[in-house]
Amino acid sequence: MRFRPAMRLRTGAEFDAVFKRGRRLDGRLFLLLAVANRLRHDRLGLAVSRRVGGAVLRNRARRLLRESFRRLDPPTGATVDLVVVARADLVGCAQAEVDLELRERLRRIRPAARVAGTGPSAAR
C-alpha cells in the first residue's frame, strides 16, 4: 500500500485540530497525538524539527515513520488523524523498533482494534 495524499494531513488547520484536541501519548522515539476522524482510513501528519538533526537525519526520520504507518494493519474500529512529533533518538533506530512503538501507541488509542480483525495486533 502506498502512502497516498488522502492518507496525509495536509493543511495547517488539520494539524492544528490534532494539536488542540488530540490525545497525547509520549514515547521514547516520538510523541503521538491523535484525534478521531470520520473517514474510512487513518491519516498521518509528521512534525520533524531541527532538533532531530540536519536535513539528512530529518528525512530519515520521516521515511521511518511513513514506512511504519504504511505497514500498519487497516483500522477495524475508529479511525484517527495522527500527528507524530519525532525525537532525536528516532534516527538511530531500526525500522522494526519504530514499527513496534507506533503499533503500541496506536493500541492504546484504539483498544477495539486489538480484539477485532486479523493480523499481528489481533493475535496478541
27-65: string of b/e by CB count within 10 Å (b at 16+)? eebbebbbbebeeeebbbbbbbeeebbeeebbebbbebb
Write the burial class of residue 5 (CB in 10 Å: 0-12 exposed, 13-18 middle, 19+ buried).
exposed
How far is 82 from 36, CA to CA, in rounded Å? Answer: 9
Domains of the chain and CATH, by start:
5-111 (3.30.230.10)
What pLDDT tens digit does each residue of the chain (124 aa) get? 677 888 999 999 999 999 999 999 999 999 999 999 989 889 999 999 999 999 999 999 999 999 999 998 877 778 899 999 999 999 999 999 999 999 999 888 875 433 333 344 444 3
